[in-house]
Amino acid sequence: MDVLKRIPVREQDAKERATNFKEVCLGYNKEEAMEEASRCINCKNAQCVKGCPVAIQIPQFIEQVKNGNIEEAYRIISESSALPAVCGRVCPQESQCEGKCIRGFKGDPISIGKLERFVADWARENGIKPTPAAQKNGKKVAVIGSGPAGLTCAGDLAKMGYDVTIFEALHEAGGVLVYGIPEFRLPKSGVVAKEIENVKSLGVHIETNVVVGKSVTIDQLMDEEGFHAVFIGSGAGLPKFMGIPGENANGVFSANEYLTRSNLMKAFDPDSRTPIMHGKKVAVVGGGNVAMDAARTALRLGAEVHIVYRRSEEELPARVEEVHHAKEEGIIFDLLTNPIEILSDDKGWVTGMKCIRMELGEPDESGRRRPVEVPGSEFVMELDTVIMSLGTSPNPLISSTTKGLDTNKWKCIIADENNGKTTKEGVYAGGDAVTGAATVILAMGAGKAAAKGIDEYLSAK
């Protein structure tokens, strides 16, 4: 074995998986995991832990995997993470734990994500559950939103003995894990539902179909329903559109709508009652992880799919692994291209998209080189479907109905990143509702910090 090389992980063949919704990555088996774990040099001053937003004791759990003691490895991970089977699949490890791995200086970093996933999957298959709190402290906390931030915050508080209720606006718990990330990247009934069961087994209640700000307000939760503190983890759910002519034509969708239909409403399944557009030629506008998810979903539903992105490959915000998978499956990348108009027929159905070529100019505030139009380079792509994946922003439903809860100019809730404290007493927030669209693990980190903040607040009361 070459210690500089990681043990490759098995994947579904690209041609085959392009036609199904089964998980792409098949994960390690125990032998592979133990072998990969043996590459870890167990650093004293472990950099990987510093790269992890929830500070999992990575060398310690890997040590247990190396020895074949997977149950103990799971116990160590569970101390820090409520959703290891999810994180092992969707965290951007390359820029976090694995990005800091000493092994990475001269060779491949340890496959920390794949090991985490193996441990979590093994625990699930062997019926191992996290341990609930020994004693309840009688204090009630409301958590708004059952996505990664909410589940993490709720799980941590429940472990400390709090009586936690999660309020979810949709009919199913999981937030973006359920409506946003597709089955082929994160299996719903197999993985997400089980992780949520684990959080419930800690004593957390989940009430679905409650739109906080409409069905009930935060003030009502605190004054009438007896909650001592509230955590807002309502995410960033509002889709952005480009504002170009023709964008309301039939066949233009937000990535949110397209993915929600496929993921939450199961439209990918031919037996589902939910309709979804089966385009023949689809353009997905945007270059983030959500764009890749939408593109790969459209591909699996039978379309020729183009990613249309105004900058170059280097600036694609999506994870390298996602771009790589998308290319392998046959997604076509039209880079340095920007839509300027959606064209439609006399019945209002999309027939094409007028685009303009771009080139990279001087760097902008984000440090990325600013794309500028190449004059006279307009051209038309023939299409029947356009999916806009330009990012999302927080929903103002909560902030606009809660007095004393301040937001910034992007409608993000203002909260202290160390403890989630907002401008309203007893109300904490974290995740995309605070930062704008980011990652699952950053939301979990914020949920964790807020659980600590809430505990400090209520303990002092």
Partner 1 sequence: MYKIVKKQELTTNIYLMEVEAKRVAKTCEPGQFVIVRMDNEGERIPLTICDYNREKGTITIVFQTVGAGTKMMAQLEEGEYFHDFVGPLGRPSELVEQPLEEVKSKKILFVAGGVGAAPVYPQVKWLHEHGIAVDVIVGSKTKDLLILEKEMESVAGNLYVTTDDGSYGRSGMVTQTIKDLVAEGKKYDLCIAIGPMIMMKFVCLLTKELEIPTVVSLNPIMVDGTGMCGACRVTVGGKVKFACVDGPEFDGHEVNFDEAMRRQQIYKTAEGRAMLALEEGDTHHGGCGNCQ
Tell me the C-alpha to C-alpha distance, in Å, between residue 203 and each of 30, 54, 156.
Answer: 31, 21, 11
Compute the Cα dihedral for 99, 92, 63, 7 and give only its sign: negative
Q: Which is nearer to partner 1, 42 or 215 (CB)?
A: 215
d(CA 112, CA 374) in angstroms, rounded, equals 43
The 252-254 sheet, strands edge to edge: 252-254, 385-388, 281-285, 304-308, 332-334
8 vs 245 by CB, closer to partner 1: 245
Query: Counting contacts by CB under 8 A, is residue 265 touching partner 1?
Result: yes
Q: Does 256 bind partner 1 (CB under 8 A)?
A: yes
Residue 239 touching partner 1 (CB under 8 A): yes
Number of Cα atoms under 13 Å in the Cβ half of residue 411: 16
User: Of the two residues 261 and 325, which places its CB atom closer to partner 1 in the complex?
Assistant: 261
Region of 107 (left: φ > 0; alpha: ψ -120 to 50; beta: rest) is left
The minimum distance between CB 294 and partner 1, in angstroms, equals: 13
Q: Is 403 one of the binding residues for partner 1 (CB under 8 A)?
A: no
Close Cβ partners of 296 (under 8 Å, ≥ 6 residues apart): 182, 184, 305, 325, 326, 329, 331
Comparing CB distances to partner 1, the nearer of 395 and 402 is 395
261 is a site residue for partner 1 (CB under 8 A): yes
Q: Which of 119, 216, 218, 335 binds partner 1 (CB under 8 A)?
A: 216
Q: Which of 19, 29, 95, 208 binds partner 1 (CB under 8 A)?
A: 208
Per DSSP, 139 falls in state: -
Tell me if 452 sits within 8 A of 153, measured CB to CB.
Answer: no
CA 401 to the chain's CA centroid: 26
The correct pick among 165, 395, 407, 435 for binding partner 1 (CB under 8 A) is 395
Kindly state whether residue 273 participates in binding partner 1, applying the rule CB under 8 A: yes
User: What secondary structure letter does DSSP report for 151?
Assistant: H
277 forms part of the interface with partner 1 (CB under 8 A): yes
Binding to partner 1 by residue 10, rule CB under 8 A? Answer: no
Least gap, CB of 146 to partner 1 (angstroms)? 14
* Residue 410 contacts partner 1 per CB under 8 A: no
Query: Which value, to the nearest 10 degrees, does the dihedral of the CA atoms of residues 204, 208, 211, 216 take?
Result: -60
| By the rule CB under 8 A, 257 interacts with partner 1 | yes
Phi then psi for 48, rounded to 5 degrees? -55, -40
205 touches partner 1 by CB under 8 A: no
CB closer to partner 1, 96 vs 254: 254
CB-based contact 86:191 (threshold 8 Å): yes
Q: Is 149 in the site for partner 1 (CB under 8 A)?
A: no
170 forms part of the interface with partner 1 (CB under 8 A): yes
Hey, which residues between 310 and 369 contact partner 1 (CB under 8 A)?
A: 347-348
DSSP letter for 98, please.
H
Q: Quick check: 387 binds partner 1 (CB under 8 A)?
A: no
247 binds partner 1 (CB under 8 A): yes
What 8-state DSSP symbol labels residue 133? P
Closest separation between CB of residue 238 and partner 1, Å? 5
Q: How big is the site for partner 1, counted in residues (CB under 8 A)?
A: 37
Stretch that binds partner 1, among 72-80, 255-263, 407-415, 442-450 (CB under 8 A): 255-263
Q: State the nearest-atom distance from the C-beta of 33 to partner 1, in Å.
A: 35
Residue 334 CB coordination number (10 Å): 15
Q: Cα separation of 78 and 85, whole Å?
A: 11
Candidate list 5, 171, 205, 280; residue touching partner 1; CB under 8 A: 171
Instruction: Work out whether 260 is an interface residue with partner 1 (CB under 8 A).
Output: yes
- Cα gap 258→307, rounded to integer Å: 15
Q: How far is the CB of 326 from partner 1 (least distance, A)?
A: 23
Instruction: Write the DSSP assignment of 433-457 as a string of letters.
Output: HHHSS--HHHHHHHHHHHHHHHHHH
Residues found near partner 1 in the complex (CB under 8 A):
169-171, 179, 208-211, 214-216, 237-239, 241, 243, 247-248, 250-251, 253-254, 256-257, 260-261, 265-266, 272-275, 277, 347-348, 395, 397
